[in-house]
Homo-oligomer: A and B are copies of this chain.
Amino acid sequence: MTLFVIGILFMLIYIMQMNIPTKAILLISCPDQPGIIARISDFIYKNKGNIIDVDQHTIHTEGLFLMRVEWQLEGFAIDRGDLEKHIKVLLNPLNALWHLYFSDKRMRIAVWVSTQDHCLLDLLWRVRAGELAGDIAVIISNHRVVEQMAIQWNIPFVYIPVTKDSKIHEIPQKKILLDYQIDTVVLAKYMQIVSSAFIKKSPIMINIHHSFLPAFPGAKPYNQAYIRGVKVIGATAHYVTADLDAGPIIEQDVIKVSHRDEVADLVRKGQDLERVVLARAVRLHLEHRVLVCKGKTVVFE
């Protein structure tokens, strides 16, 4: 009986999602000049698109213009398959970098964990709750601790132990990311350094680091925080680059601590931050709200 009700529920969710009209999302960055907004909004209007949301930012010191525009495709004069071509014509004169996304193309995520499962469980829950514009396609781990959780949530689990010969062990991982057609890798407390060779070839990676970077990079940040005697601890979600814990920051948050908090308390309080900071970053990324520019992010919330 229960399963029947749950089944109905899922069908309803599916039908509701069918009815959400598809939107196009365009991310642009180009040298600043007058008339960019007019050019783009005019293009959408003339082709009978209805802009849902537009956000723009100029980095004056760099002379860079950045923009995110989202419009309904229903009734749009240009066919979805031809849209890229038209946008190329529109934006080429601006010397622009741009990406086009469609809201009905759900992103595919690989969550990569070690033995801690709190961020993973949180992401699993959020995907099911419909908070994230993506699906967890596979869970990868160098331990078997979370395998049971993967089974219960019906997500494929791949066990890849970390060996000394890291160059070799990354070959199966690359294959997995290809096999599962992964768009985004989320390091949800993976606790291992990923080689720069792998980072270069991997889909974009988001990591959660358990400190307010740039304070306490590297290993054991809560221990570092305890020793230093800070009065706030934090968590940072960032894109992974070859420089350890130095990639563009997407989201950060902190919580107050006191001398009463021992390392175990910092871990406990910090985990509450890690969950929400990572989830917010993943949500923003999956909705194509983050642009990277000069090692920093512009987040169109």
A contact residues vs B (CB 8 Å cutoff): 1-3, 5-6, 34-35, 37-39, 41-42, 44-46, 48-58, 60, 118, 121, 125, 129, 131, 144-145, 147-148, 152, 212-216, 228-232, 234, 248-254, 256, 258-260, 262, 268, 272, 276, 279, 295-299, 301
CB within 8 Å for A229 and B295 given contacts A212-B215, A254-B254: yes
Looking across the interface, which residue of chain B has its beta carbon closest to that of A291?
B259
Which residue of the partner chain, among B44, B148, B301, contacts A6 with CB atoms under 8 Å? Answer: B148
Flag if A44 contacts B54 (CB, 8 Å).
Answer: no
20 pairs of residues in contact across A and B, judged by CB atoms under 8 Å: A5-B144, A5-B145, A34-B48, A34-B50, A38-B46, A41-B41, A52-B58, A53-B56, A53-B58, A55-B55, A118-B125, A121-B121, A152-B152, A214-B215, A228-B296, A229-B248, A229-B296, A230-B252, A256-B256, A259-B296
Apart from A37-B37, A38-B42, A232-B254: 9 A-B pairs, beta carbons within 8 A: A3-B148, A5-B144, A34-B51, A35-B41, A37-B51, A213-B228, A215-B215, A231-B250, A258-B301
